[in-house]
């Protein structure tokens, strides 16, 4: 599968089979995350992998009761130990973690797994459930597991609507 084929196959999976993910697959997935670029090569991402059923239920409730999360083989709680801004003013944590999570999402596709980006959650509740220190940012949640649904077609803008050359022409 080419990278573009993998990207085209990726979708936001919101239904999972209740099946454990093999340790070998998780190792490959987190190797992909480890290789992600980061600002100043800080490698500031940290991941808490939740596989315990009761803990997944608690996190699902803390994610606005998105109970499909509890069926995933695991929930990745993506964190950062960095609160710095890049020179351009953007937060390092959110960008670095997002890059690493997209590496995870694409690697998951190649391994026959599905993922979904979850930004609708209450960080303080997740922090309490997982004992995450207050100085660590909880950036995103990502369920990962064997899909129990089929990809839905979503509309995408044409390239001409999102790209221009040399100067702003929108």
pLDDT digits (tens, 9 = 90+) for 43-77: 999 999 999 999 999 999 999 999 999 999 999 99
164, two tokens:
């221009």
Chain segment 131-144, per-residue pLDDT in tens: 999 999 999 999 99
Distance CA(29)–CA(11), nearest Å, equals 17
CA angle at residue 132 from 127 to 137, to 5 degrees? Answer: 80
Beta-carbon contacts of 52 under 8 Å, excluding residues fewer than 6 positions away, are none
How confident is the model at residue 81, as a pLDDT?
93
CA angle at residue 168 from 163 to 169, to 5 degrees? Answer: 70
How confident is the model at residue 1, as a pLDDT?
86
Mean pLDDT of the chain: 96
Query: Residue range 116-140: average pLDDT?
Result: 98
In this prediction the pTM is 0.95
Query: Residue range 145-160: average pLDDT?
Result: 93
């Amino acid at each position: 599968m080419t990278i573009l084929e993998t990207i085209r196959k990726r979708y936001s999976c919101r239904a999972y089979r209740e099946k454990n993910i093999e340790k070998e697959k998780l190792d490959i997935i987190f190797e992909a995350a480890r290789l992600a670029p980061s600002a100043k090569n800080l490698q500031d991402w940290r991941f808490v992998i939740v596989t315990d059923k009761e803990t997944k239920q608690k996190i699902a409730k803390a994610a606005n009761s998105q109970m499909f999360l509890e069926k995933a083989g695991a929930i990745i709680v993506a964190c950062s130990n960095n609160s710095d801004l890049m020179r351009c003013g953007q937060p390092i944590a959110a960008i670095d973690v997002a890059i690493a999570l997209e590496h995870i999402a694409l690697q998951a596709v190649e391994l026959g797994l599905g993922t979904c980006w979850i930004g609708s959650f209450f960080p303080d509740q997740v922090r309490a459930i997982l004992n995450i220190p207050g100085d660590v940012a909880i950036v995103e949640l990502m369920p990962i597991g064997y899909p129990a649904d089929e990809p839905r077609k979503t509309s995408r803008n044409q390239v001409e609507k999102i790209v221009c050359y040399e100067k702003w022409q929108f």
